[in-house]
Every structure is written in structure tokens, then in C-alpha cells.
Structure 1
Amino acid sequence: MKISAIEIRKHTFEKIFRGYDPDEVDAFLNSLSQEWERYSSENNLLKMQLEYAEKELAKLKDIESTLFRTLKAAEDTSKLIEKEANENAEKRIEESRVTANELVTEAEQRTSQIIRQTEDRLAKFKEDFAQEVKFQERDFRAIENFRDNLIVQLSSLANSALETVERFEQKYDKESVLNKMEDIKKHVAEIEIPKKITFQQPVKIEIEEPADEPEAQVILQDDKPEVVFEVANEPEQEPEAEPVFEVDPELPGEPEPEAEEEIPAVAPFATHVPEPEPAPAPEPEPVREEPVAYNRPRQTPKTAAEEAEEVLAEMHKVAEKARDSSAGINRPRESSQPKKSGGGSFFDQI
């Protein structure tokens, strides 16, 4: 039952005999109503404060829950980001490791392939060079044989000429025969003996010796540019007047003179000899019945020495390129033994 201050003030009591003093009761009730009013106002104020505090508490609780959820989400997000970062880092590290291994493997394969190709090329170059040396040695020997044969032919021609002169000397005037022999000796002395020529290119030489005439027919074959040794024909000279030997009719019957043997003119072996002043080229002669045999038509007017020099320069270039590309591979060891010098025989010095 709720009692307000107004009800306390307006409350009345029945009057009886010998009861309480009405003034004192009224005064007490007034003071009681005042106190009641004061407590009621304080109670209302406290209720209002409590409601406000409860509302603030609810707001704070909402904020707290929001902050907690936010903090939780941030924590979860940070953990997720950290996990993804670790996974990405591990993945990148693994990919980098695989790529590095592949690059190293590929580099090793390419290196081994290059080394193998270089060794194959070097072995092939050595084999070709050895074969080239064999070919050159064989061709050089063939050229020497050709030179020796040519010298023998020239010697035989000179001997036959001398024999013919001697026969003529025995039959005819000695002075005219001596003059003729001097001319023949001069002609033989003018014939140049070919020098040794070193070729750096394989040349195949075939020497054909005809049965009737001692003309040298040279056929040179080559796998590379063709080198042809041609027998140079000397420019035509005016024929010298042969001495006419008159037979004295008063002499007793002498046997008729034998027909003079013709000495075929052999041209010197064509070699490349520089002259101080080149003579003008002679006019081409008509084709003879026994031309020098060639296996192929000559394409360039270069001499054999020029062709040999060009081939030698080309081989030097190839050797330098191979030496640069294969530097440090199969390099010949330097001999630590001191070379022998001084006296002694040739074999002791070796």
C-alpha cells in the first residue's frame, strides 16, 4: 500500500476521551509527511539515475561486444594473413629452388655439350690435318719424282745432243760442229731446273711419258681449288741458219750423211720466279698436235705458287680459329727436359 505525503497530512483520527494531543499528532504527521516526501523524491532520483546508468551500461556493453568482435576479427585476419604470407613465402622459395636447379642442370648440359662438340671438332681437325699432311707429303714426293724424271730427261736429251754432235763432228767440219755444239750447250744451260716447292694443299700428280716424244704431260688434281702445272712454251725464236755442209765431189764416194736427229725442245718447269721487269706476253700459238694434257679446263690464270700461298694462308686462319676456340683443351705439355746443345753428332743433339 502506497502512502503519499498528502495522505499523511490529510489523514484524520477519531476523537476519544483521554486520547493523544491533536496538535502534537498533527505536528508529527507534518514532519513525517515531509520526510516521506523527501525520501520519495530521493527514491525517484535514484531510480532515474539507475535507469540512466543501466542505459549507459547497455551502450557500453554493446561497444564492448563490438570492440571484442572487431578485435577478434582483426586477430583472425592477422593470423590468416600471416598464414597466407608463410604459405606464399614457402611456395616462392620452392619455386625459386626448382628454377635454380633447372638452370644449373641446363647450364651443365650446355657446358658438357659445348665441351663435347669442341673435342669432336678438335679431333676431326687433328685427323684432317694429319691426312692433309700425308697428302702434302705424298704430293711433294710426286713433285720431286717429277723433277728427277725431268732432270733425267733433260740429261738424256743433252747426252743425245752431244752424241749427235760428236757423230757430226766425225763426219763433217769440226769447227761448224763445235759452233753448233756451243749453241746447244747454251740452250741446255738456259733451261731452268725446277726448285723444290712446298705445297700446303693436297695435289695429285700423274706423270705421263709418251713413247714417241719425251714431252712431259702433267695432270694435277685437287679436291679444293684446282692447281695446274702447265708446261710453259717458250716464245718462238727466229730459227738460226743451219750450216750447210758441202760435199767435195773430188773425194771418193763417202756414205751419205745420216738424217740429223731432231732434238725436241723441252720447256723449263713452270715456276713462279719474280722478274724485275715482266716481258710482254707472247702471242698465242696455234694448237699443236701434242698439247699438254689437262684433266680439267683451267678457270683462273693463277700460278701454282700463288695457289699454294693462298691455301697456306687459309689453313693458318683455320688453325688460329681452332686454337682460339679450343684454348686450354689438349694443350701440348711443355717438356721439362733441357734441350741438348753443343757438340756431338746430329742424333746426339736430338
Structure 2
Amino acid sequence: MNHKEIRPVSLEQFWSLLAQHENDDTAGSRDRNVVVMRPDVAVIRHAMPKAVLTLFSQPIRLREMRVIIIKRGWAEPVINLLPRRCEAGDLIFVSSNSTAQVSRVSPEVAIEGFSVSDELFRLAIAAFVPKAFDGHVRDFCLHTEPQERRFLSGLIRLLYRATLDANHETHVLRNLSAAFFWYVNNMWEKRQQDETRVQTHDARLFTDFISLVNEHVRRRPTISFYASKLCLSPRYLSTLIKQVSGKSAKQWTDEALLTAIRVDLKHTDKAMKQIADELNFPNTSFFCKYFKRMTGLTPLAYRNGETTAAQTPETV
């Protein structure tokens, strides 16, 4: 493996992990995971709590984009640093190369969704890329109305059948994928218009700050760097972030850094020195002490699967 690349969770790994929980939680077809995939597409008709927690119990980097709908129950994921509370009927989009983790789910949670490779997405969309998926938005969550959920579930059923049936040509999947993404884009654009009218200037600056932190985390820049990018003074930015989020700017940058470290420890075989060097720590000892101070575990203990209570996802 190329040590300079983080090994993300691919569709193949996604399928393999779900297959381990094919009969999840209770007996009966209603509570079985129903998933089908090809090399460039995966469709989830139904996935249960154990499968969700198995896939996302630790921070992972997603190679392909994903759209997930909560069918019932609720989940509390952390996507690109930001914690969310997602209820039944919520749709979640996560772009490729994003980080994700699930901290808690309800016992009855069930999801459906759709994931495609960037290559299939480009083939499906062709020259006209929907604004929601043009790369400037890394993730979003929106609540769907009943008629929207019915339409999306219908598309997911068609995608499932087309993926399952080897006789279907690739262009069938392309056209169904395009319909799915354009429909979600139209939903997103309508809600963006509504949100723009009510979102404050400070809230928009906070969103921009989080995007920059996700983009530049591996360089470990200072608060002054982010302030300069946003055309603000460091003092004003620090005050604004605290007022909007209740957490300091340093807490947000620390969370981003810890997520990057966890991904490297869990999904690569990089040596500690290499991780420390790539994340601009002065030396390996400083890196190990930082991780231990922030998490209560040494990097090696975390890599070997030890967890603290705060790191263990749960159903409630």
C-alpha cells in the first residue's frame, strides 16, 4: 500500500462489513440487511443498528459519495467534524473523501441509501452538474416530506433492482442515478433558498470556518491563517466561533486533527513517525503525548482496538 495515502472505506469493504450482519438484531425478513452492489455502486434497501455501528464506530474516510435516508428511529453522526441529530425522514448527503462517524443510534433505527463512485456519477450527470454536488458542499442534512420520501424510496427500489439484475446495462444505472441526484438537488436548492433568508452572517462565517478546517487540517495552521482566509482578525474570529458554537476555535481544530489521526491509525499501516511528520508534529514523542492527553489512549492502544467510554458508540 502507498503509505502516503489514507486507505478509505470502499464500496467493497462496505459490502463486506454489512454482510457480516445480514441477519441483524431480530428474526424476520423485515429486520434483515438488504444490500446489493457492483464495483461502482451500492444500494441499501434496509440496514439495521449493528450494521450501522459496525461501519461507523470509528472515524472513517469515505471514498465514494453517499446519500442516506433514515427510515425509522434516529442517529447522531459526526460528519466532517460537525455533530448532527438525524431523525426519521432525514436525508443525509456525504461527499467523497469526507470523514464520518456515528456516536449513537436508537435501537429501532433503519436506513436506506445509495452510493456511487465519482466516475459513475460523472458519467450519469454528464456536462451539467447539479449545484448540490458540484464539490462546494461537502455534506448536508435535510428533512424530507412524505411525498418526497415515497419518490426517493421508489427510485432506490429501482436502483436496487437494476443493480441486482446483471442483464441491465450500465446506461440504466446511469439514468436512474441521474434522476436520483437531480431530484435531491432540487430539494436541496429549495431549502437553501429558505435557509439563506434566515441564516445570520455569523452562522455563515462559522460554516466557512469549519470548511476551511476540514480542508487544511493536515497542515495544522494557526487561527491567524483561518482569520486571514475569512478576512477577519484572529481575535474577532475566535470570539465569533465561541459565540456561535459554544466551543473555541482551538477545540474545533483539535477535533479535526484527532479525526485525521484516528483515520490514519485505523485505516493505514503508517508508522507513528510518518503520521507525526505528515501532521507537522515536531517529533513522535510530542505526537504520542498529544494523542494520549486528548483521548486517554496511546496511539498504539487505539490502533490495536482499545477504546474509552467516550469513544464507544451506543444504541439508547
TM-score of the two chains, using structure 1 as the length reference: 0.17
Question: Who wins on radius of gyration, i.e. which is larger?
Answer: 1
Bigger relative contact order, structure 1 or 2 (CA pairs below 8 A, ≥6 apart) = 2
